[in-house]
Amino acid sequence: MKSQRVKSMLSAAVVIGTMASAHAEDVEVLHWWTSGGEAAALNVLKDDLAGQGIGWQDMPVAGGGGGNAMTVLRARVTSGTPPTAVQMLGFDIQDWAAEEVVANLNGVADAEGWNAVVPDALQQFSTYDGKWVSAPVNVHSTNWIWANKKLLKEVGAKQPETWEELIVTLDKLKAAGYIPLAHGGQPWQDATIFDSVVLTTGGIDFYKKAMIDLDPEALGSDTMVKIFDRMSQLRDYVDKNFPGRDWNLASALVIEDKAGMQIMGDWAKGEFLKAGKVPNEDFACFRMPGTQGMVTFNADQFVMFDVGDSKAQQAMAKAIMSPEFQSAFNVVKGSVPARTDVSNEAFDACGKKGMADLAEANKNGTLVGSMAHGHAAPAAVKNAVYDVVTNHFNGGMNSKQATKALVSAVQDAQ
């Protein structure tokens, strides 16, 4: 434990040391976008700011869920030297805002009309105590499947529309010698699949009761036992080398014709595009069977920290929320814009579908935060769910035991 603390302090010291070279007109940005597709998307923002004469001090901290980045951030804030902007998700934004260390963006938000164009589900996280504290970059949705069309055709499988058809498709891929389901054995990835299985098995009302309201009856129900049973089913279609695999390496298995499909958020599309793959030709994008019309979401946002009167910071917030940037960035990233008035003209087939799905879910009240990605419940609860889901997925307990453990873990975390 002590050695971990020392490592964190040394890491923070190195990062803090880079500040000396930053100019007043620069923005110092802490983020965890380090994969190929993510880096390409981030360059859109860097180039936008460069065109305004604003320099970019890059602070990449690897780690898909952002946990490592939050450790570095804590050290920076504690030392009194916060970055200009930090990539952040969900309830983490609210937690930092409560510490009164973030900037007030109401000036630029009012001038640009953010309240009228950002969905309420996002504003729940972007605002705190009446003030805008972050600029949402996008809306990711997590209940997607990315499938290799060549392999589906080869094994005679169609795009599945029900759970039963999904299992049939996975069986055909397995019989043909392919990895049916590309997956990385990390808790947040296990939980990403769990989100979709909860939604397809229990429906939107059950998802809200269990994952958002944290209702003990829903968490301990027969439906939850069935959900864990289905997680066990999917576990049989994952290859033996999945433990510790990064999500983008799982995507690569599908891209390279080694695996049939991946259950992953729409950031995966960026990896397919970077590899030169074409939507609806080389790969298919569709909702987890049984969840069409429903969207579990997370949204990357840049929280602006209180660094004094920073014109560069205000310019960055304005640039992030401009319709032009929202289109250009999300075309590359694989996500959809965080504002509802952006044209879908520049988006590919999967992007257009994502925007239409988001609009439908926003209208019908079926747009719900992803538990796996910190938008359904606070971090303590999310981590408790991670522990149970991963333990079960790796054979540590059966479905009834996992259901009972889930109830206890969530109650203890609240």
**In 138-215, alpha helices (H):** 149-154, 163-175, 187-207
Local confidence pLDDT in tens for the 414 residues of the chain: 444 443 443 344 444 344 333 444 799 999 998 888 788 888 888 998 999 999 999 999 987 667 789 899 999 999 999 999 999 989 999 999 999 999 999 999 999 999 999 988 899 999 999 999 999 999 999 999 999 999 999 999 999 999 999 999 999 999 999 999 999 999 999 999 999 999 999 999 999 999 999 999 999 999 999 999 999 999 999 999 999 999 999 999 999 999 999 999 999 998 999 899 999 999 999 999 999 999 999 999 999 999 987 889 999 999 999 999 999 989 888 899 999 899 999 999 999 999 999 999 988 999 999 999 989 999 899 999 999 999 999 999 999 999 999 999 999 999
Three-class SS state of 218: helix
Phi-psi region of 82 (alpha: psi -120 to 50; beta: other; left: phi over 0): beta
CA 250 to chain centre: 16
Q: What is the CATH number of domain 26-140+299-368?
A: 3.40.190.10
Determine contact, residues 299/136, Cβ cutoff 8 Å: yes
pTM of the model: 0.85
Helix (H) or strand (E) holding 93: helix 90-98
Determine contact, residues 27/54, Cβ cutoff 8 Å: yes
pLDDT the model gives residue 20: 35
CATH of 142-296+371-412, one of 1.10.3720.10, 3.40.50.300, 3.40.640.10, 3.40.190.10: 3.40.190.10
The DSSP string of 97-147 is: HHTT-B---HHHHHHHTHHHHS-HHHHHHHEETTEE-EEE--BEE--EEEE
Asked whether this chain's domains 26-140+299-368 and 142-296+371-412 adopt the same fold, the reply is: yes
List of residues 6+ apart from 347 with CB closer than 8 A: 327, 330, 331, 336, 354, 355
Beta strand 295-298 pairing with 140-141: antiparallel
Neighbours of 293 (CB within 10 A): 12
- Which strands, in side-by-side order, build the sheet including 179-182? 179-182, 259-263, 144-148, 283-287
CA gap 138, 298 in Å, rounded: 9
CA gap 193, 267 in Å, rounded: 15
pLDDT the model gives residue 11: 44
pLDDT the model gives residue 64: 62
The DSSP string of 36-47 is: HHHHHHHHHHHH
CA gap 101, 112 in Å, rounded: 23
Question: What is the torsional sign of CA 327, 352, 115, 131?
Answer: negative
Look-up: residue for tokens 């990064």? 246
Domain ranges of the chain: 26-140+299-368, 142-296+371-412
The one-letter amino acid code at 86 reads V
CA gap 373, 182 in Å, rounded: 19
